[in-house]
Chains A and B, each alone.
Chain A
Amino acid sequence: MTKICKRQIFFLLACIAPIGKLIVLPTVLAASSANDLLLPMLAHVLLQAAVVFCALLLGKRGMGFYELLENTFGKVLGKAVATLFALFLFFAALLPVLEQKIFVQSIFYDTLPSLIVFAPFFLFAAYLMSKPLASYGRTWDVLAPIAAASLFGVLVLSVGSADYAAILPMGASGVRGFFGGTMSAFPWFFDGAILLSLLGKYDYEKGMAWQGALWYLAGGAAAIFFLATFYGIFQETSVQHLFAFAQTSKYFSGISVLGRIDYIFIIALAMVMAFYCILPAQAGVDCLLQAYGKPRYLPTILGVVVSSVYFFISLFVDMKFTSVLGAVSQTLFWIFPVFTVALPPLCLLLRRKRREVS
């Protein structure tokens, strides 16, 4: 249970990571890039595939992320960078958590429920964060087939209603649309950064870096296809349809007879999302534990503290999701490329050999 295997990382990259991009991001991209929404997505997938390659390549050194930092910068600076990185990861988890909250309240409840409906999520999050990150590989083994099968199910029910010609002509929104979409999509692409926190928790195998990038591209391709289907169904009205993966399948012809059978897939995907949206925060907790040691109750305490912070934030922004979304994706988006695009390749420049301990 102490190590994650190659397959489990690939499952995360190909099956679980794409699910996190299918709730609010399609709507955000449709708003910025209209029918060109595939292009920013493609750009991010390609960019992150390259980052994934770099991050996995770091695994060759057999050191944890903090170990790498400490090896080059020494203890104090190493700790500072690790703490900064952990804070970023906590920040990165905020939008997915709020996204999950508003998704749950809108999709699973007809009447607006009290906060107590979502409150157990924070208990779940605290429990997740108290577990060592290395034990998650096994969860991904179970979640990946569920995610893949559910996404496939949603797509099967959706493709019949989509007019794929709606995404043509490509490039209609121009460079501005492309860059606008690309910038606002940054908060959803933190997969490379998560891989940094997995360093030292898996044994690098030959060819793992490019294989990982390919798996990520495969997952990205599925997400892009979903985006095309989403826009093919809703076209110009896409901007009004939040929670994409719960919306596209409802026009399936069999639903009038069978009821919302697509809810089976939506519920399964929501479970996968519950694990995925808290993953950056877990990675953040793990990063702090690497830097500051692992006293027995520290993971639990950190898990409870971080969860409580998310809980209180969610209390204050209960009805202001769009404002948070705007703030993160329009104003604070620049924080993300620093940690999710630039940091992993920069880490390749860190000292390769272990420092001699005097």
Chain B
Amino acid sequence: MKNVTGDLQKNTDALKKLVPAEDIYFFDFTSDMGTPFTVVFADPITDKELLGELVVRPISHYGGPLTAKEIGKNIISPEMRTERSLEKLAAEVLAGNPVLLWEGMDEGIIVGTKKVFTRAIAEPSTDVAVKGPREGFIEDVKTNTSLVRRRLKTGELQIDFMEVGRRSKTNVAVCYLSGMIPSGIVEEVKKKVGEIDIDIVPDSSYLTHFLSSRPYSLVKQVGTTEKPDIFCAKLAEGRVGLLVDGSPIALTVPYLLVEDFQSSEDYFVPSYRATFTRLLRLFALIVAIYLPAFYVAAQLFKLQLFPQKLLLTIAGAIRDIPFSPSLEMLLVLLVLEILNEASIRMPKYVGMALSVVGALVLGETAVSAGFVSTPAIIIVAFSGIGLYAVPNLIEQTSVVRLVMLLVAGSIGTYGIILTTGFMLLYLVTTENFSTPLLAPFSPMIGRDLRDSVLKYDLGSLETRPRAMRSPNKRRLG
């Protein structure tokens, strides 16, 4: 590793070799005393106005001793440090922090005048709440940590920065409340993050693969949120949070499946309402996954499952349908998935047209043409809506729904039962960071059930979730 020498020309030449890109500028100027200086900066990501005001202007009029300490005193920036390694200086330049070098000095000064491009803090599109805070994380990790720090004004809040990605050198902030985390978890998280050997990290979702104990599993093993209030609440329960530069989605571990049935609003409405909505979400998800499957299984293998009058209606509706029940349902479900995918990706101005095409052409016309039956459309619509009652699990549940449908179409009700059994067995044996995914249901933790699909009033939630094994158990009173 080469170090800075007293020869300015040699230093700039070495830096040019390390960062040969055309947008890396080497700005030479001379102080009033005649000392040559060079500021090296990355043009697109450096605030040149600040650089001129805080660094170049004061230094160009400086006439004192040429030590790093004395020169540093004349730079008007709180973010400043010295460095000898040329490679580290180059890395700082690429991160947007200009480097000041001058003749006769064997170290450079790094100045924090990075240009930060951020969008305004806005309400996230997921985790929307009618009551409660509306702020959401943005792509800038510094802003995100400030949102966390603003909510947790305690010295216990630790934010440790790490760098991930061989080329992206993405900043990852590992956040936790010291004294709330069982021993070993922070270290395990840092170890896993530190061991990630990947080119770039464009989004926090890249990290979830490395943080999961079963990385190829369909089951989600890392919690996600876009809201700082939820993030802070999770930290206060004894979890570790990760904020990734460039991503508005924060990660939390350990993750419990039940988290995704809870919304931030549940804590701002009366407990009976929160319990009702949580049960409703669970019911909606069960219906969304199982309804198409049972409809097909009943049609194919056990018509007795339908009430008599409904059976007559269904029999009338499916009489002229050319497809088998399972194929019909599969087609409608696939159309729904395609419409869903297209509506997310398509330009907004054609959204209305797609809705018309989807609802009228594909729905109404397909029924009147006799391709699909009305009950199938109703069931898929119901299932589609139900799935969005728990939006954070949509990637997993939509696949499970499809699997259930295929099983139901081939071996009927007992296939659904066995697939559920397989899933149950898989879920109860899944652990991440030594925390069972299905807690507090399996293993059953009575006290934690108070804030699961049930929601007791705030006064009853005296302790942190036992599943988190926090050494600091009480959070109330």
Cβ 8 A contact of B307, one of A104, A131, A139, A259? A259
B428 and A135 form a contact (CB under 8 A): yes
In the complex, A120→B422 CA distance in Å? 11
A108 and B307 form a contact (CB under 8 A): no
B305, B414, B415, B416 pick with most chain A CB within 10 angstroms: B414
B301 and A108 form a contact (CB under 8 A): yes
**If A5-B443, A139-B442, A270-B417 touch, does A256 touch B301 (CB 8 Å cutoff)?**
no
Interface size on B, residues (CB 8 A): 32
Judged by a CB distance under 8 angstroms, whether B413 is at the interface is: yes
B414 and A124 form a contact (CB under 8 A): no
A111 and B418 form a contact (CB under 8 A): no
By beta carbon, the residue of chain A nearest B414 is A104
Interface SS, B side = helix
Cβ 8 A contact of A135, one of B413, B417, B429? B429
B301 and A138 form a contact (CB under 8 A): no
A8, A110, A116, A256 pick with most chain B CB within 10 angstroms: A110
- Rounded to whole Å, the gap between the CB of B404 and the closest CB of chain A is 13
By beta carbon, the residue of chain B nearest A263 is B305
Judged by a CB distance under 8 angstroms, whether B355 is at the interface is: no
A117 and B412 form a contact (CB under 8 A): yes
A116 and B429 form a contact (CB under 8 A): no
Query: For residue B416, which residues in chain A have a CB less than 8 angstroms away from its CB?
Result: 267
**If A1-B431, A121-B418, A267-B413 touch, does A142 touch B304 (CB 8 Å cutoff)?**
no
A110 and B417 form a contact (CB under 8 A): no
Cβ 8 A contact of B411, one of A7, A117, A275? A117
- Rounded to whole Å, the gap between the CB of A128 and the closest CB of chain B is 7
In the complex, A345→B428 CA distance in Å? 33
By beta carbon, the residue of chain B nearest A118 is B414
User: Using an 8 Å CB-CB cutoff, how does the interface string of A55-70 with B read, 1 for contact, 0 for none?
Assistant: 0000000000000000
A257 and B307 form a contact (CB under 8 A): yes
Query: For residue A108, which residues in chain B have a CB less than 8 angstroms away from its CB?
Result: 297, 301-302, 412-414
A109 and B301 form a contact (CB under 8 A): yes
Which residues of chain B from 36 to 83 have a CB within 8 Å of any chain A CB?
none
In the complex, A129→B421 CA distance in Å? 13
Query: For residue A138, which residues in chain B have a CB less than 8 angstroms away from its CB?
Result: 428-429, 436, 438, 442-443
Judged by a CB distance under 8 angstroms, whether B218 is at the interface is: no
Judged by a CB distance under 8 angstroms, whether B161 is at the interface is: no
In the complex, A5→B443 CA distance in Å? 9
A113 and B421 form a contact (CB under 8 A): no
**If A137-B443, A259-B307 touch, does A142 touch B438 (CB 8 Å cutoff)?**
yes
A270 and B443 form a contact (CB under 8 A): no
User: Using an 8 Å CB-CB cutoff, how does the interface string of B423-446 with A read, 1 for contact, 0 for none?
Assistant: 011001101000010100111100
Judged by a CB distance under 8 angstroms, whether A102 is at the interface is: no
B442 and A260 form a contact (CB under 8 A): no
Judged by a CB distance under 8 angstroms, whether A163 is at the interface is: no
- Rounded to whole Å, the gap between the CB of B183 and the closest CB of chain A is 20
By beta carbon, the residue of chain B nearest A270 is B417
Judged by a CB distance under 8 angstroms, whether B308 is at the interface is: yes
B417 and A274 form a contact (CB under 8 A): yes
- Rounded to whole Å, the gap between the CB of A130 and the closest CB of chain B is 10
In the complex, A281→B140 CA distance in Å? 56
- Rounded to whole Å, the gap between the CB of B449 and the closest CB of chain A is 11
Judged by a CB distance under 8 angstroms, whether B458 is at the interface is: no
Cβ 8 A contact of B414, one of A1, A117, A137? A117
Judged by a CB distance under 8 angstroms, whether A141 is at the interface is: yes
Judged by a CB distance under 8 angstroms, whether B91 is at the interface is: no
A271 and B304 form a contact (CB under 8 A): no
User: Using an 8 Å CB-CB cutoff, how does the interface string of B301-336 with A read, 1 for contact, 0 for none?
Assistant: 111111110100000000000000000000000000
B302 and A1 form a contact (CB under 8 A): no
B420 and A271 form a contact (CB under 8 A): yes
Which residues of chain A from 249 to 308 have a CB within 8 Å of any chain B CB?
256-260, 263, 267, 270-271, 274-275
By beta carbon, the residue of chain A nearest B428 is A138
- Rounded to whole Å, the gap between the CB of B385 and the closest CB of chain A is 21
In the complex, A342→B50 CA distance in Å? 88
User: Using an 8 Å CB-CB cutoff, how does the interface string of B377-421 with A read, 1 for contact, 0 for none?
Assistant: 000000000000000000000000000000000011111111011
- Rounded to whole Å, the gap between the CB of B294 and the closest CB of chain A is 9
By beta carbon, the residue of chain A nearest B436 is A138
In the complex, A141→B444 CA distance in Å? 6
In the complex, A263→B302 CA distance in Å? 11
A131 and B429 form a contact (CB under 8 A): yes
Judged by a CB distance under 8 angstroms, whether A127 is at the interface is: yes
- Rounded to whole Å, the gap between the CB of B41 and the closest CB of chain A is 54
- Rounded to whole Å, the gap between the CB of B329 and the closest CB of chain A is 18
By beta carbon, the residue of chain B nearest A109 is B301
B412 and A124 form a contact (CB under 8 A): no
B436 and A274 form a contact (CB under 8 A): no
Q: Which residues on B are within 8 Å of A, measured CB to CB?
A: 297, 301-308, 310, 411-418, 420-422, 424-425, 428-429, 431, 436, 438, 441-444
Question: Could you write out 25 A-B pairs with CB less than 8 Å apart?
Answer: A1-B429, A7-B444, A8-B443, A108-B301, A108-B302, A108-B413, A109-B413, A110-B304, A113-B301, A116-B411, A117-B415, A124-B421, A127-B422, A138-B428, A138-B429, A138-B442, A139-B425, A141-B441, A141-B443, A142-B428, A260-B304, A260-B307, A263-B305, A271-B421, A274-B421
CB-CB nearest 5 A-B residue pairs: A259-B307, A138-B428, A141-B442, A108-B413, A138-B442
Apart from A1-B436, A142-B428, list 16 A-B contacts with CB within 8 A: A7-B444, A104-B414, A108-B412, A108-B414, A109-B302, A118-B414, A120-B415, A128-B425, A138-B443, A139-B424, A142-B442, A143-B424, A257-B307, A259-B307, A271-B417, A271-B420
